[in-house]
Structure formats: C-alpha cells, structure tokens
C-alpha cells in the first residue's frame, strides 16, 4: 500500500535555513553559502522520507520565502517597480519582492488560508508579460533524482494561483484575474513538459482554493484550465491536492471531473464531510490520496481510528487505489520530536511532529496492506488512553468558571464615545497621538541575556537588572522621539504567545518546536494540552517598572485569548471555543491586576483573530461570535478611564469590520500600509467607526525607511475617511524584527509627520 507526504518543513530541525537567510541578507555570507545550506536540507528531507518507506515524496516544496512567490518567479510576474529585465530570476529580485529594498517597498503579505503561515500576494493585470523565469521545480526534481530519489514535483495550481492574486496598483479592482489563465497556462505547459523530459512520472498540482466558497464561474475555470492542460499532462500521473477544509459537492464534482487528472488529495482531518462525497461518488480507476494524518497539529494520530476510516474508503475506491497521506503540508507543524529533551515523557508520548507523522503515514499504509506493526499500534493506543485519563488535563474549577460565562455578553457598561471622553481627560493626548505596537528590536545582547538566564548561567538579579536597563533605554528613546503613548519594548519576551503560555497552566513548551511563519521568521507555538488558568500575575512587574520611568502613559502589553489560541497547538479533545474562554478568563485576571497597578492604557493584541475565521462563510457567524465574546471577557471589568487597545495585522479585515467594531475596544491599531491601504476602502464605503483607530503608516517587515512626506501622505489619506479626533499614528506592527538603525529614523519621521499634520490642521481652523 502506498504512502504520500503533501509537503515538509523547510527551516531544518534547528532553523538552519533561517540563520542562512539572515546571514545572506546581512551580507555576511554569499549566495553560494545559502544555496549549500538549502541543498543539504533538501537532501536530508528526501533521504528521511525515502528511508521511512514513503512512496510519493514531494519536491519543489522547499522555498527560500514561500511557494506562491516561487510561482510568481516561475511565471516571470515581477511588478515593474523592481526593474527586472528578464532572464532567470535571481536572489536580488526575488528578495526585493518579498522584503522590499532601499528604494521600493515589498509586495503585500497575507495569511495562507486560516494558518499562521504567510505568502506574498501576486500583483497582476492585463499588461503583465508572463515568461518562464524560474526553473526551480525542474532543477529540484533533477537534484533529487541525482541523489537516487524519484520525487513528485509540486506546483501551485494555475487556478489557485490566480485566485490568490490581486489586481496590481492602477488596475481596476473589478479586473478578472481568471482572464489571465490563457496567458499563464503556456508556461505551466513548459514546466510540465520539462518535468516529463527529466523523467517525472507523477506531478502534484496544489489547488487549495477548491475548498473555498466558489461560484460556478470560478469552478468552471478549473474545468477549462485542466482541459487545456490535458494533452501536456498526458503520460503523467497527475495528483490535484486540496486541503484545510471540506469540499462542497459542487467543488468535489468539479475536482473529479478534471481532465488529465489521475488522483485527488483530500484533507480528511479538517474535511471529514468529504468522506461522504467519496462514498457517494468516486471515479472508477482513479486514486484517492487520503489525508488522515494531521499536518497542522502535533498530536499523535489515533491509528486505530484512522485505519478504520481508510478501510471504509478502500472498500469504495479499491484496494490498489488508496494512498495514505497527510492532510496538508507538514510545513505547519514542528520538525522532529527527537530534538525535544525537556518535555516530560507522558506529554511526549501524546505528540507527533513532522518526522513522526512521516512514520505514522507509512505505518498506516503498511497496516492497510495487512502488515500492521502490532507493537507500534499498541504503543499508540496506550498513549491515546493515557491522554484521555490523565489528571493533568482537567481542572474542575476552570471548567466551572468557563461554564458560568454563558448568559452574558460581557460588554463594558458605558459606550465607547463616553469612555474616550473620560480617557482623554485623564491622558490629555494631542490629536493624532503617536504610539508603537509593542516590541522594540531584539538585539543579540538581549537574546544572550535571556538565553543565559534560561540556562541558569546568570542569576535572577542580574537578569532583572539587564532587562530593566533595556526597558530604560527604550523608554528614553521614545521620550527623545517625543512619542505620546509609550511601550516598554517587551525585552523579557522572545515570543508574544510563548511568553504568556509559559506562565499559564495547561501549556507545555518545546525547545526546538519551531514553525515557519514567513521568510526567516519562525515561531515556537506552545502546546495547550489541558485546562487553562493563571496561577500568578504575568506582566504587572515589568509594566509597573516601565511606568515608573516616565510621566507619559505606558501601555500594558498582553496577547489576547483568540491569538493565543490560534498561535498555539491546541488540544483536539474539546471544542476550540471552550479552550478560548478559559484563556480569556486568565487574561481578564491580568488586565484587572494591571489596572490596579496604575496602568491606564492596556493593549490586548488580537493579531490572529481574522486568521482563525473558517474558510466557509456558513461557519463565520459562530466563530466570530465566540471569538469577539472572548475578547470582551478580558476587559469587561475595567473602569471607563482605562483605555483598552487591540492590534491586528496581515489579514483582510474588511469583511469582518462589523465584528471588529463589536469587540468594543477603545483603540484598534491595524495593519494597513503593506496592503495598499485597502483597509481604508471600508470607511470610504460608509462604515462608521467611532472608536480610536490607528491604521499602520509604514511597513515594519521591510528594512526600508519611509520619509516624513510619505508618512504624512498616508495620514492625509486616512483623514479623508476618518475623523481627526479618533485617528492614531503608528507603524503596522511590532518592531522586534528590525534593527535600531532602521527603527530610530523611521519613528522619527513618523512623529515628524504627525506634528506636521497637527500644525496644518491647527492653521486650517
């Protein structure tokens, strides 16, 4: 029986690619050095899967930034501002599109479906001259073949690529991106022909947009595209892979009707309803790649349950036509449990990272073929039973408190307009108040201090002294720049979710459980294995310390419950909303302690609220109801004079703007500049927003420093659609990934722009 992996993590077990990328960007190493690290990683991944017995091993899932940007490069769809003159796209053009450069900004970055992974959004229009400009897919297939591994080359499918794109600046928003299919399909044909010539017998085309709510016009585009590709695909086995949700019956029928396609990949973890579609109608002689091993979470597979599902499906599709697979790419999970030396044995027995999931896939394939590894299955059953019965998973007091939340919507008693008046009397801020989002640059010295404290190489007194000195430096800098509402810079935190999870019960932590978020940015999601509570205050000491250093308002900085949930590996033995309510109660305790300590501005970040929105519109209302409710729970008990901020970034918020308003925050700061200010369009269309709002005035994910004039121009665009008395001036996001050499001039220009506008507004009265 055959086995398949949709995709695999790229960063390496110890983030080797991250460090190689950053060294290259900092001009400390050459392109050849970066390529060598990448080649070594690819080689080890292919060998690992081959040694594990996987039959269908993917290639071209490795990327220096993201797979959609790789496809943009393959198609030569480089926006004109990067001055690409043709030929094979090199690192300079590739990374300029991803990160910007000294003279031009980066392309927009947004979330990959409902994950914490990001992609660079293609900018397309009728005048794009597509050309075959990156041979990466063919090169990597040949590279694997030379190592003795015959792989399945993976491409982002042509229809999904277009549906994930946006009209370029200056192109009508109504422009039909699907009208470009006839222009990109010839390049796909070139790539496929080269792969055939190189010896490929299988090819995987990822079409994840098939799981979205698509109208008949969009579904027809899949039918037309694959009909056009049919003759080129002839002679190849073609897998069309979908993931992250169920297919509608219309999308399923479109999928199984595609010309030239041999096999269909379905996510049977998040798309369990698709099983019924397979049972009711599956094309004779075709292959089902059954995604029963979860590619998005770290819990060990329930092998007995999965094997039962596979046997049901085998009876429908045929013994030789079912392939055991992951539900999606393993990119979204940590790399290898072997590297976790500090997790206790009980919790470790409940987990499976990417390397273990590869073994699970092969074990299920062998079991389906009648070669079940009884010892492996027995150990798995024991781990499943241990997790269900472990006393550390359940806390009766927490469950009782969460159950008591029902029956109230937890709104603050006074409306936002009256609260803002009360807060202004207390804070006395100027119009267009300036602030930042929370974090300041994480220097090598700061990282060293945290690392040595964790390793018990320095005392707690020395650690506290060093962190206080860093906070003082950040506070002094903000006062020097004349920023109005300050932050302490978060020097005590490596990661905004990990920091809180380490202080909450019900969480476990890894040493090397890194997951790629975008580019070289990696996160280490905590593992929520049990009921959640807050044993002790988490941030009060540091926020109070920072406030004592300045007379200006100092923001208390918290991560909101929905973001903690969506940026963690969440327990799968109870509904997600129940876990979220538990986290909300813990954050509520912290908010109220901050207020008691004299912190008058408290930011509760919900950067990932939009990210968790289900892919199906029919499920939006339920999710938004409990997600927004969870946020309100955290701050429903504070006084009118305590100003509650929240922050959101790198998603499309326009379709949930009414839910954002319903969060009832006093001020929201929100990403805006990198996405071509499309957030502002919702206000142009007449949505009234009465709370404070700070659409980001510059992109912090690029090293580029915006001028005062550029920022002032952005603020003027905001003033055209927002009231002066509610507008805040701030960057898009936190500054931890930037260097002080970039942060100081950028913030200086931001403050100068705010002052310039204040002067102009005053003189216009």
Closest by CA to 121, choosing from 567, 663, 676, is: 676
Cα 400 from Cα 318, distance rounded (Å): 49
Among 675, 673, 621, which residue's Cα sits nearest to residue 651? 675
What is the sign of the dihedral through the CA atoms of 561, 566, 571 and 577?
positive
Picking from 439, 438, 411, the residue whose alpha carbon sits closest to that of residue 666 is 411
Tell me if 49 sits within 8 A of 62, measured CB to CB.
Answer: no
- The answer to whether 437 is annotated as binding is yes
* Strand partners of residue 645: 603, 667
Quote the CA–CA distance of 164 and 127 in Å, as a whole number. Answer: 18
Specify the DSSP class assigned to residue 435: B
How is residue 14 annotated by DSSP? T
The 8-class DSSP code of residue 467 comes to H
End-to-end alpha carbon distance in the chain: 78
| CA distances to 139, 293, 537, 644, 705 from 146, in Å | 11, 30, 57, 58, 44
Nearest to 5 by CA among 151, 219, 195, 166: 151
* Residue-level pLDDT at 651: 59
Asked if residue 530 belongs to a known ligand binding site, the reply is no
Q: What span, in angstroms and rounded, lies between the C-alpha atoms of 471 and 683?
A: 37
| Ligand-binding site membership of 388 (annotated) | no
Q: What does the chain come to in residues?
A: 765
Which residues of the chain register pLDDT less than 50? none
Number of Cα atoms under 13 Å in the Cβ half of residue 228: 17
* Residue 332 marked ligand-binding: no
Q: Helices 31-51 and 136-146 meet at what angle, rounded to 10?
A: 60
704 is in an annotated binding site: no
Give the whole-number percent of the chain exceeding pLDDT 70: 99
701 is catalytic: yes
417 is in an annotated binding site: no
- The predicted model scores a pTM of 0.91
Q: Any known ligand binding at 522?
A: yes
Q: Please tell me the number of Cα atoms within 13 Å of 85 on its side-chain side.
A: 0
Q: How distant is the alpha carbon of residue 671 from its chain centre?
A: 14
Phi, psi for 206 (deg, rounded to 5) = -80, 120
Q: Are 46 and 59 in contact (CB under 8 A)?
A: yes
Identify whether the C-beta of residue 256 lies closer than 8 Å to the C-beta of residue 286.
yes
Instruction: Tell whether residue 726 is among the known ligand binding residues.
Output: no
- 521: annotated binding-site residue? yes
- Provide the 3-class DSSP secondary structure of residue 502: coil
Structural contact between residues 140 and 62, judged by C-beta atoms closer than 8 angstroms: yes
Catalytic hit among 488, 629, 645, 701? 701
Answer yes or no: is 18 a known binding residue: yes
Task: Let me know: does 637 contact 604? Beta carbons within 8 Å.
Answer: no
Residue 328 marked as a ligand binder: no
Query: Which phi and psi angles does 397 have, rounded to 5°?
Result: -65, -40
SS3 state at 155: strand
For residues 196 and 206, what is the distance between their CA atoms, to the nearest angstrom? 18
């Amino acid at each position: 029986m055959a086995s398949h992996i949709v995709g695999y993590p790229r960063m390496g077990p110890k983030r080797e690619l991250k460090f190689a990328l950053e060294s290259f960007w900092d001009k400390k190493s050459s392109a050849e050095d970066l390529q060598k690290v990448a080649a070594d990683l690819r080689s080890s991944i292919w060998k690992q899967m081959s040694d594990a017995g996987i039959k269908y091993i993917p290639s071209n899932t490795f990327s220096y930034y993201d797979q959609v940007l790789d496809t943009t490069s393959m198609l030569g769809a480089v926006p004109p501002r990067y001055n690409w003159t043709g030929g094979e796209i090199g690192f300079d053009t590739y990374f300029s599109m991803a990160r910007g450069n000294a003279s031009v900004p980066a392309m927009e970055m947004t979330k990959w479906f409902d994950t914490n992974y990001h992609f660079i959004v293609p900018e397309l229009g009728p005048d794009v001259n597509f050309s075959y400009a990156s041979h990466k897919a063919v090169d990597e297939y040949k590279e694997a073949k030379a190592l003795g591994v015959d792989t399945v080359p993976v491409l982002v499918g042509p229809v999904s690529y277009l549906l994930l794109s946006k009209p370029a600046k200056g192109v009508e928003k109504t422009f039909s991106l699907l009208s470009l299919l006839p222009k990109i399909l010839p390049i796909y044909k070139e790539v496929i022909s080269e792969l055939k010539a190189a010896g490929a017998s299988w090819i995987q085309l990822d079409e994840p947009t098939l799981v979205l709510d698509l109208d008949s016009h969009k579904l027809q585009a899949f039918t037309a595209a694959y009909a056009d590709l049919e003759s080129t695909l002839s002679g190849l086995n073609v897998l069309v892979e979908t993931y992250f949700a169920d297919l509608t019956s219309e999308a399923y029928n479109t999928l199984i009707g595609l010309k030239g396609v041999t096999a269909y990949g379905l996510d049977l973890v998040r798309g369990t309803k698709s099983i019924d579609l397979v049972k009711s109608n599956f094309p004779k002689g075709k292959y089902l790649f059954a995604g029963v091993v979860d590619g998005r979470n770290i819990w060990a597979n329930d092998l007995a349950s999965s094997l039962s599902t596979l046997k049901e499906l085998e009876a429908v599709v045929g013994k030789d036509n079912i392939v055991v697979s992951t539900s999606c790419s393993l990119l979204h999970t940590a790399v290898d449990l072997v590297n976790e030396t500090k997790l206790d044995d009980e919790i470790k027995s409940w987990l499976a990272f990417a390397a273990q999931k590869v073994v699970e896939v092969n074990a299920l394939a062998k079991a389906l073929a009648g070669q079940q590894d009884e010892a492996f299955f027995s150990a798995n059953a024991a781990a499943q039973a241990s997790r269900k019965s472990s006393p550390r998973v359940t806390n009766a007091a927490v469950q009782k408190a969460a159950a008591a939340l029902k029956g109230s919507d937890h709104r603050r008693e006074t409306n936002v307009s009256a609260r803002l008046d009360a807060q202004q009397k207390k804070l006395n801020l100027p119009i267009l108040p300036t602030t930042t989002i929370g974090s300041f640059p994480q220097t090598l010295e700061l990282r060293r201090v945290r690392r040595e404290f964790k390793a018990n190489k320095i005392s707690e007194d020395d650690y506290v002294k060093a962190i206080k000195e860093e906070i003082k430096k950040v506070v002094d800098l903000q006062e020097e720049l004349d920023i109005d509402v300050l932050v302490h810079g978060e020097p005590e935190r490596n990661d905004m979710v990990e920091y809180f999870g380490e202080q909450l019960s019900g969480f476990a932590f890894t040493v090397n459980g890194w997951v790629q978020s975008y580019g070289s940015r990696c996160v280490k999601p905590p593992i929520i294995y049990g009921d959640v509570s807050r044993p002790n205050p988490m941030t009060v000491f540091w926020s109070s310390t920072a406030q004592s250093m300045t007379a200006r308002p100092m923001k208390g900085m918290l991560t909101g419950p929905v973001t903690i949930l969506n940026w963690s590996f969440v327990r799968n033995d109870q509904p997600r909303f129940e876990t979220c309510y538990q986290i909300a109660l813990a954050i509520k305790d912290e908010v109220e302690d901050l207020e008691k300590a004299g912190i008058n501005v408290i930011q509760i970040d919900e950067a990932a609220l939009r990210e968790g929105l289900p892919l199906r519109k029919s499920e939006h209302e339920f999710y938004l109801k409990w997600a927004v409710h969870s946020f309100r729970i955290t701050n429903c008990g504070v006084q009118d004079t305590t100003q509650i901020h929240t922050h959101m970034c790198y998603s499309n918020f326009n379709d949930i703007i009414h839910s954002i308003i319903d969060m009832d925050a006093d001020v929201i700061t929100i990403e805006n500049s990198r996405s071509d200010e499309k957030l502002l369009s919702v206000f142009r269309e007449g949505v009234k927003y009465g709370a404070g709002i700070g659409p980001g005035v510059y992109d912090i994910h690029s090293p580029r420093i915006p001028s005062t004039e550029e920022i002032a121009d952005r603020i003027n665009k905001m003033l055209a659609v927002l009231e002066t008395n509610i507008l805040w001036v701030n960057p898009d996001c936190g500054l931890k990934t930037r260097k002080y050499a970039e942060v100081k001039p950028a913030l200086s220009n931001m403050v100068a722009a705010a002052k310039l506008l204040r002067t102009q507004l005053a003189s216009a009265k």
